[in-house]
Structure formats: C-alpha cells, structure tokens
Structure 1
Amino acid sequence: MTGVTLGFIPEPLSVPLDCLLPSRRHPANVCATGKFKKIESSIREVGLIEPLSVMPADKEVGQYVILDGHLRVLALKAIGQNDAECLIATDDETYTYNNRRNGLSTIQEHYMIRRVITRGASPERVAKALAMDVATIQRKLSILDGLCKEATELLANRQFSPEFARALKRMKPMRQVECVELMIAANKLTPRYAEALLVATPASGLIDGLKPKRMQGISAQQAVRMEREMSNLQTQYRLVEQTYGQDVLHLVLAKGYLDKVLKNKSAKQYLRQNHPDLLAEFEALVATIALDRQQIVAAA
C-alpha cells in the first residue's frame, strides 16, 4: 500500500503579515460583519487557534499567497499582530482542509461552552471570545434543560435557537419527540413553527396542562382546527413511516418493469397507438424515478 501524500508541511511556520498576499478580494464592509467580529474577539481573547494555509513563498519576492484564512489575517492586523502561524501547502490547490469543515451544531456548541466554563473560564470571558453577550451564553448553557433525551438525539446535528427550544420545553417528552420529527421531516426548525405546534398541542400533551396563549393572528376556531389537522398529520406520518421501505421497493420494481416495457419496440408502439395517455404517464414515471436516483447519488 502506498503512503498518503500530505497536502501541507506538518510544522507551521511563522510568517510576517506583510509577506502574506490575498488570493481574493474582500467586500468593502467585511470588517463590520458578525463573522469577522467573532474571529477578531476569539483571537484577541485566546490567540490564533488555527494556522493559516498558504502557498510556498515566491523565490524572487518572498511573498506567500493565502489559500485559507483571509479574515484571520485582517483580524490579526486589526489587533496589532505582526506575524502569524502558517501551514505551507505542498501543491497548488485552493481546496483546503478547511473546506471540509462542518459548523458546530447548537448542541455541540452547548457542550463546548459548558466544558470551557466547567474548566474554569468565566461566562464573561467566553462571551468576549465568541463576540456574544453574557445573557446569550447563559441561554446556550441552559438550552437542553427540559428537553428529553430522545428529542435531544434527534436535534444533535442541527441548528436551532433558544426560542425554538423554549416552546418544546413546555411539552411532555412524547410530544416533544413527535413535534421534532415533524419539523425535521419538513426541514423547518424555526421558533414560529415550534410555537404553532405548541398552540396545536392538546392540554394533555403539555407539562403544566395549561394551553398557551393563542398566537397573534390565530382565532380560537383556527387553533381548534390546527389541533385536529395536526393530529391527522401525525397519524399519516406514522403510517407513511411504517410502509416507506416497502413502498420504495415496490416503486423500484415497478420502474424496472416499466423500463423494460418501454424498451420493447412492439409494446411501445402498441401503447402509442392504443393508449397514448398511459404511455405518457409511464414515460414520465420512469424519467422521474431516474432523476431522483441521480440526485440521491450526487448528494451522497
């Protein structure tokens, strides 16, 4: 087995900021964005955590081209630093390791903040490092309080706000799981949607047994209808979930059969002459399933 070629020289090199050249143009207001402010606050409080990625120095002028870390360079200059730790790339490739990085989910961020504070950092310092106020840090620390284990597991890799969690916390565990599953299926984890589900939850599904105040713009009759429709939707969701695998198998088998029929010239000619409407439906069905398959493969 051949060894894996490293994309960067493992040992970082300290490079003067004046010797770093950007590889792209920054927007005029980049230093006013929230992302830049977070980076600047983090470097100011705890230093540069992640080295920059740069191309090897030009032999004539001694300049390094930045592959990844443009905002970090601007932040370092803003706080008065003169140099930065850099990883030197071994090939001419702008697709760096940082392109494979996924952002922290809300729950991962909660655990990170809780661990830092448990190890002795004050909420005030954490707030400064993340460019947040202390009240926001406190909300992130308590965001899982009142959420059941099953709902927490469903939300483990997703982003959601404290307001979203606050609506769920008023529900009993089983109802929390039902609502989270519905919102994930709809790909809509918003506070407004969570509040709507809370309003549509029967009193028996709430921790205190008290119905919440109606949402603005929703009458009592509309709320009752929401409860009824939500109950029907949950029933249908469970039925679909139970038969989904079998339905997909039947669909794939049917598609394979129709594909063979349409490739048979005699059968296709018969359908065209006697049942043109069925032929159009069959062709659309085969094309749709083929397209869905291509999208799934591309996404994987």
Structure 2
Amino acid sequence: MPDGSVKQAFAEATRRIALAELVPLRPVTDAMRRTRKFSQIVASVREIGMVEPLVVAPDRQSPGRFVVLDGHMRLEVLRELGEAEALCLLATEDEGYTYNNRINRLAIIQEHKMILKAIERGVSEERLAAVLDVNPDHIRRKRRLLDGICDEAAALLEDKHISINSFDALRKMRPERQVEAAELMVAMNKFTISYARTLLAATPEAQLAPGKRRPKPRGVTEEQLALMQRESANLDREFKLIEENYGADHLDLVLARGYLARLIGNERVARYLDRRHKEILMEFVDIAGRQATAA
C-alpha cells in the first residue's frame, strides 16, 4: 500500500448469503460425492450445522453474485440438504488461492486431546461419532490413545502423523524403550505401523512392559532376532552420540566453511591451488558453497 499499511484480506464479520447467489469455480463430481470426506461433511452439517464458513469473493462479471474460493463440497452438501443460505467469509480479492494447501492437518495426538476436551464439556462419544461419521468404537479408541504411553514419548510424537496402530506396539514397551523408539521414529521420519512393529521385534524381553509379549516375526530365526536386537541397541547408542555431538560438530563445520571461503577468496592461494592442486580447489569451492575463479 502507498502509505505502508496492510490491506485487509477479509471482511471483519461473516455474512449469510443465498445459495442461488454463489457461483462455484469448479463442479463437485460424482467421484467426490462418493468420498469419505463428503460423507463426513454431510454427517457434520446434519448434526451440528455449518462449522467452517465458505470463502467467497464478489463476482466481477455478475454484480450481486459471489464466486466460491473455498468450500465447494460444503456448498454441495448444503444444496443436497435443502438449505437456502450459507455462512460465508467475504474475501476482498478473488485470487485463485488454494486454501487447503495452507492447512496443517491435525496430528492424531491432537485429535485425541480435542476428543477429551469435547467429552469433558459433555459431548457424548456417540454424538462425536455421528458428527464425524465414524463408528463409536473409533472414538473410544482415540480417547484411550495415550493409555500406557509415557509422557516423554507422547511429547516427542505430539505433532507427528503417526498411525493409531503404532501406539499398540509402543504400549507393549517399557517407558524408557518407548522414548528410544519415539526418538528413532522421529530421527528416521518413519511413523508407520510396520516400522513400529520392527522396533517392537527388536526390543529385548527386559524392555517389554510387564505381562506383554512381542510377536515373533515370520521367517525369522532366534539368531536373526538376536542380531536385530543388537543392531537396534547399536543404532540407539549411535543416535544418542550424534545427538550429543551435533551442536559442536555443526559449529566446527560452520567455522571450517567460513575459513575455506576466505582461503579460496585469496587470489594468490586460489591461483596456486588452480595450478598445482585443481581437484583440491574444486573440493574447497564445493564445501564453501561458492564459485571461485582462478586468476
């Protein structure tokens, strides 16, 4: 803006707009209507009404009408349910901005906390299941998600998109092993049930929770299982060693990179290396992250 101010992107208040005045930018296909997401929106709107408003902008081609920037499936659900109006958030620009690309999806532990909060406020598990269009047993399972999971391991996985079945594997481990397994999952960026079961299979008997047994992997002998456990223990030690030394090593690398950048920036040194040790000069250039031109 000329005066340095920031233009407001949306109107300060939502407004209700007749569905007949809303112009979608794209159609909702039959394939989209058959998706799980569409059925969940139908169930949610039927049970509690519209939660998230549509995002619309004035139609420059047709005064009095509005183009839908976000919420095409919600609009289609409202039409199918016979609604006449929709709650809308009015944007000041009609940019083709894909809002869903800027959404951070809820991690499963965050869903667990939201379910607990809703239940504390008096919402029944059955009502939650109806709103989300899932089986009540699914809600109960998410409510009990962290039962048997230590706080430190839960904190490590709090914002990770991890399979609900992975917690079944973690629950069979003692707290200290849960933390080790969670650290490995984060370090490897692998949160699948298969990886969790691999960590469980590599867990020694002494690190299993009381009364829990780990399933023996198919086609794996006792010798191979023992080897897996030793390799897992070695990986744990190497991970902790790297974690302890990471800060100092990173500082050393930054200093070394800066020194090499200054070194190859010296015309006489660069000329000498280019004449006598060209391969070393190229390595220095690569490490320093800059191009050097030999004189």
TM-score (norm 1): 0.88
Note the C-alpha offset of 1:6: 2.9
Aligned to 1:11: 13
Aligned to 1:82: 84
Q: Distance in 1 between matches of 2:101 and 2:53?
A: 14
Q: Distance in 2 between matches of 1:117 and 1:269?
A: 73
For residue 84 of structure 1, give the secondary structure of its aligned residue in structure 2.
Answer: strand
Note the C-alpha offset of 1:77: 1.7
Aligned to 2:221: 219
Cα deviation 1:40-92 (Å, max 9, x = unaligned): 22111111011111112558452210111111111212222221011211234
Between 268-277 and 208-217, report the one with greater CA deviation. Answer: 208-217
Aligned to 1:256: 258
* AA at the equivalent of 1:140: K
Q: Distance in 2 between matches of 1:60 and 1:183?
A: 53
Q: 5+ residue gaps in structure 2?
A: 291-295
Contact 1:20 1:63 in 2 (8 A): yes
For residue 162 of structure 1, give the secondary structure of its aligned residue in structure 2.
Answer: coil
Contact 2:58 2:94 in 1 (8 A): no
Note the C-alpha offset of 1:258: 0.9
Aligned to 2:137: 135
Q: Distance in 2 between matches of 1:146 and 1:60?
A: 59
For residue 29 of structure 1, give the secondary structure of its aligned residue in structure 2.
Answer: helix
Note the C-alpha offset of 1:121: 2.4
Aligned to 1:268: 270
Cα deviation 1:219-262 (Å, max 9, x = unaligned): 32221111111111111111111110111111011111111222
Note the C-alpha offset of 1:181: 0.6
C-alpha change, 1:209 and 1:240, in structure 2 (3 Å) is farther
Number of aligned residue pairs: give it. 288
Contact 1:163 1:191 in 2 (8 A): yes
Q: Distance in 2 between matches of 1:224 and 1:164?
A: 22
Q: Distance in 2 between matches of 1:143 and 1:134?
A: 14
2:241 to 239, 242, 254: 239
C-alpha change, 1:210 and 1:25, in structure 2 (3 Å) is closer
2:99 aligned with 1:113 = no
Between 171-180 and 2-11, report the one with greater CA deviation. Answer: 2-11
Contact 2:115 2:143 in 1 (8 A): yes
2:64 to 62, 65, 70: 62
Note the C-alpha offset of 1:113: 1.3
Cα deviation 1:77-127 (Å, max 9, x = unaligned): 222222101121123434487664322221111111122223332222211
Q: Distance in 2 between matches of 1:210 and 1:120?
A: 35
2:47 aligned with 1:45 = yes
C-alpha change, 1:217 and 1:131, in structure 2 (3 Å) is farther
Measured on the aligned residues, the alpha-carbon RMSD in Å equals 2.3
Note the C-alpha offset of 1:211: 4.5
For residue 58 of structure 2, give the secondary structure of its aligned residue in structure 1.
Answer: coil
Contact 2:53 2:89 in 1 (8 A): yes
Matches within 5 A, 1:154-169: 154-169=156-171
Cα deviation 1:245-286 (Å, max 9, x = unaligned): 111111011111111222223212222232233223222222
Identity over the aligned pairs, expressed in percent?
42
C-alpha change, 1:199 and 1:101, in structure 2 (3 Å) is same
Aligned to 2:293: none
Q: Distance in 2 between matches of 1:210 and 1:30?
A: 43
For residue 152 of structure 2, give the secondary structure of its aligned residue in structure 1.
Answer: helix
Contact 1:202 1:211 in 2 (8 A): no
C-alpha change, 1:271 and 1:143, in structure 2 (3 Å) is same
Aligned to 1:188: 190
Q: Distance in 2 between matches of 1:6 and 1:99?
A: 21
C-alpha change, 1:45 and 1:232, in structure 2 (3 Å) is same
Contact 2:172 2:214 in 1 (8 A): no
Q: Distance in 2 between matches of 1:2 and 1:41?
A: 46
